[in-house]
Amino acid sequence: MASYSFELNGKPQSLDCPGEMPLLWALRDPLGLTGSKYGCGIGICGLCTVHLDGTAMRSCVLPVSACAGKSVRTIEGLSADGTHPLQQAWQALNVPQCGYCQPGQLMHAASLLAENPNPSAEQIAEHMDSVLCRCGTYPRIKQAVALAAARMQGERS
């Protein structure tokens, strides 16, 4: 077992674990951050999405060894106090039903807005197409991403 060091939600973190352990399980079990969800284990559903050096990654297929020396951000670190524009838009439009997929949806959406602060409806749909939801919150997710983008534009101008 090796020791791995990385930045986790802005703070230094080290962890002794097998290097091939997926980051998802390292976060959830030894590190106790259960916001990232297990859904499929093979990188299809997107519920486990985190940011690795700012890029959205599926942590269920991302070995801890690949995170060494890098910066990991999870839903718990998306904002200090739950006020990221996406988190606000999600609440304003009453997006969650069971809510289990929403951490992944939010982290995936955040990576879009970081790259493209003013996405078109088509770009939102294209980007968000790869995270699954079983309750059927897709229509509201689309609207909430657009709302968050619009509010962020408003803040900038």
Give dist(CA 99, CA 133) in Å, integer.
9
Give least dist CB 29 to other proteins, A: 4
Output 6 or 28, the one with its CB closest to other proteins.
Answer: 28
φ, ψ at 7 (rounded to 5°): -95, 130
Output 56 or 157, the one with its CB closest to other proteins.
Answer: 56
Residue 50 falls in which region: left (phi positive, over 0), alpha (psi -120 to 50) or beta: beta
- Which segments of 31-137 does DSSP mark as H helices, in order? 85-92, 102-115, 121-128
Give contact residues for other proteins (rule: CB under 8 A): 1, 17-18, 21-22, 25-26, 28-30, 32-42, 44-45, 47, 74-76, 78-79, 82, 86-87, 90-92, 94-103, 106, 125-126, 128-142
Give least dist CB 12 to other proteins, A: 20
From the list 132, 128, 157, the residue with the least C-alpha distance to 145 is: 128
- Composition of the chain by helix, strand, coil, percent to 5: 40, 15, 40
Give least dist CB 65 to other proteins, A: 14
Give least dist CB 127 to other proteins, A: 9
Output 86 or 157, the one with its CB closest to other proteins.
Answer: 86
Give least dist CB 157 to other proteins, A: 25
Output 6 or 107, the one with its CB closest to other proteins.
Answer: 107
Do 35 and 100 meet the contact criterion of CB atoms below 8 Å apart?
no
Output 99 or 157, the one with its CB closest to other proteins.
Answer: 99
